[in-house]
């Protein structure tokens, strides 16, 4: 059975392709390499011993997309292809709306035209904003995200709900908390473009002396140590959830399905706890300085992921230290490539 994976050479996409191949799905990847590199394809083959089909193009090119659907019998799609830098989205909102939403609509138009179903969408806990209560479950009221990136995720969810309702389709919206870590082989991981915005890539580059010091954005939050709290979920656990969600969609007998799942560990960790766990796991030092809060940051977000456990039989298994150990192995691998 063939699954289209857009953005399949990206961070979460590449890990998910590995899990799909390991579960005997055939995979067709479309990725424009705007935030990934070709060697990831070779590494996926090395890890799995299988070769996914790969098309390097931008999903805004409708005619090329249509040819992919002509060439393969697509049983479902997992859509990772999107821009994802929160800060950049504030400077270039139109690029974010165009890239993240036009590409989504192009794929859905093909689904409609060809009478296909089974669509999984990468959403984010950003759709909850600063929730009034923790942990956050799927019924927590949504708030308009501050960033244009976040808005593309919320709008993407709405587009998919309408798509499922109007055309009797099966869709799953997966709301990720903070993905971290790398494949245990150290052959796949996150490839931050330029200076990393996210915590763990910055910590990793600081430990390997590419960056001088980590800036901790605020230690005056109302938390135990004053730094902000997030739910850091290991990327391989996250990837496995996609296969479970896909299996459930494929098995659904109803024509119309709109499933929503939070994917997190259920445990919040502060920025300082992450830094300390990284140092402990890898026996390296991470110099840091305390700075002002970063604009737009929330104080705390962690998941109630019970619904995913109940309905998908999925649960995060990997502890923070272990995830951070794989990140360090990946960083060492990247340095051998320079
Ligand atoms: N942080 C630092 N220093 C850094 C980077 C981050 O102190 O150099 C802190 C942040 O202030 C925050 C925490 O580490 O408190 C996590 O920051 P990230 O940038 O790694 O992650 P965010 O929670 O801000 O963003 C993530 C995803 C987004 C998503 C958002 C939803 O990266 O895609 O969650 O809240 F939109």
Q: What's the gap in Å between 244 CA and the centre of ligand 1?
A: 27
Q: Which atom of ligand 1 is nearest to the CA of 214?
A: 8
Pocket of ligand 1 (CB under 6 A): 84, 86, 124-126, 150, 178, 197-199, 202, 214-217, 228, 230, 271, 294, 297, 301
**Confidence band, pLDDT 50/70/90 cuts, at residue 143:** very high
Write the pLDDT tens digit of every residue in 210-242: 999 999 999 999 999 999 999 999 999 999 999
Question: What are phi and psi for residue 270, nearest 5 degrees?
Answer: -85, 165
Q: What pLDDT is stored for residue 86 in this prediction?
A: 93
Q: What's the gap in Å between 63 CA and the centre of ligand 1?
A: 37
The residue whose CB lies within 8 Å of the most ligand 1 atoms, and thus the one to mutate among 122, 297, 320, 324, is 297
Write the pLDDT tens digit of every residue in 186-216: 999 999 989 999 999 999 999 999 999 999 9
Closest by CA to 243, choosing from 74, 81, 18, 54, is 18
Q: How far apart are CA 2 and CA 10, in angstroms?
A: 19
**Confidence band, pLDDT 50/70/90 cuts, at residue 338:** confident
**Considering only CA atoms, which residue is closest to atom 19 of ligand 1?**
198
**Considering only CA atoms, which residue is closest to atom 3 of ligand 1?**
216
Q: How far apart are CA 79 and CA 169, in angstroms?
A: 15
97-121 b/e (C-beta count within 10 Å ≥ 16 → b): bebbbebbebbbebbeeeebbbbbb
Contact 314, 240 (CB under 8 A): yes
Q: What's the gap in Å between 300 CA and the centre of ligand 1?
A: 11
Q: What's the gap in Å between 296 CA and the centre of ligand 1?
A: 10
Give the E-state strand segments of the chain in sequence order: 2-6, 26-30, 53-55, 74-79, 119-124, 170-176, 178-180, 214-217, 229-230, 232-234, 257-263, 269-270, 288-291
Which domains, ranges and CATH numbers included, belong to the chain? 2-179+235-264+303-317 (3.40.50.720)
| Active site residue ranges | 149
Write the pLDDT tens digit of every residue in 146-167: 899 999 999 999 999 999 999 9
Q: What is the pTM of this model?
A: 0.98
């Amino acid at each position: 059975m063939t699954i289209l994976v857009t953005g399949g050479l990206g961070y979460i996409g590449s890990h998910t392709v590995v899990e799909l191949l390991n579960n005997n799905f055939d995979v067709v990847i479309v990725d424009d390499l705007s935030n990934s590199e070709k060697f990831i394809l070779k590494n996926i083959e090395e890890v799995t011993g299988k070769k996914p089909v790969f098309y390097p193009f931008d999903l805004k090119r409708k005619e090329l997309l249509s040819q992919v659907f002509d060439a393969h019998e697509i049983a479902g799609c997992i859509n990772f292809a999107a821009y994802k830098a929160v800060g950049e989205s504030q400077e270039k909102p139109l690029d974010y709306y165009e890239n993240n939403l036009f590409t989504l609509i192009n794929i859905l138009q093909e689904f409609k035209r060809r009478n296909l179903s089974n669509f999984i969408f990468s959403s984010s806990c950003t759709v909850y904003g600063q929730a009034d209560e923790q942990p956050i479950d799927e019924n927590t009221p949504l708030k308009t995200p501050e960033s244009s990136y976040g808005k593309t995720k919320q709008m993407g969810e709405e587009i998919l709900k309408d798509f499922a309702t109007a055309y009797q389709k099966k869709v799953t919206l997966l709301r990720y908390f903070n993905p971290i870590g790398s494949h245990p082989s150290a052959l796949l991981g996150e490839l931050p473009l330029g200076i990393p915005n996210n915590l763990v890539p910055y910590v990793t580059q600081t430990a390997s002396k590419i960056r001088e010091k980590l800036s901790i954005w605020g230690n005056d939050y109302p938390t135990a140590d004053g730094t902000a709290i997030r739910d850091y979920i290991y990327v391989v656990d996250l990837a496995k959830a996609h296969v479970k969600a896909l299996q459930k969609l494929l098995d659904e007998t109803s024509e119309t399905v709109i499933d929503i799942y939070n994917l997190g560990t259920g445990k919040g960790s502060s920025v300082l706890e992450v830094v300390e766990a990284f140092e402990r796991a890898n026996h390296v030092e991470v110099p840091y300085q305390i700075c002002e809060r970063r604009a737009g940051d929330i104080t705390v977000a962690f998941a109630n992921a019970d619904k995913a456990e109940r309905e998908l039989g999925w649960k995060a298994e990997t502890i923070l230290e272990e995830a951070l150990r794989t990140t360090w192995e990946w960083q060492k691998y990247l340095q051998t490539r320079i």
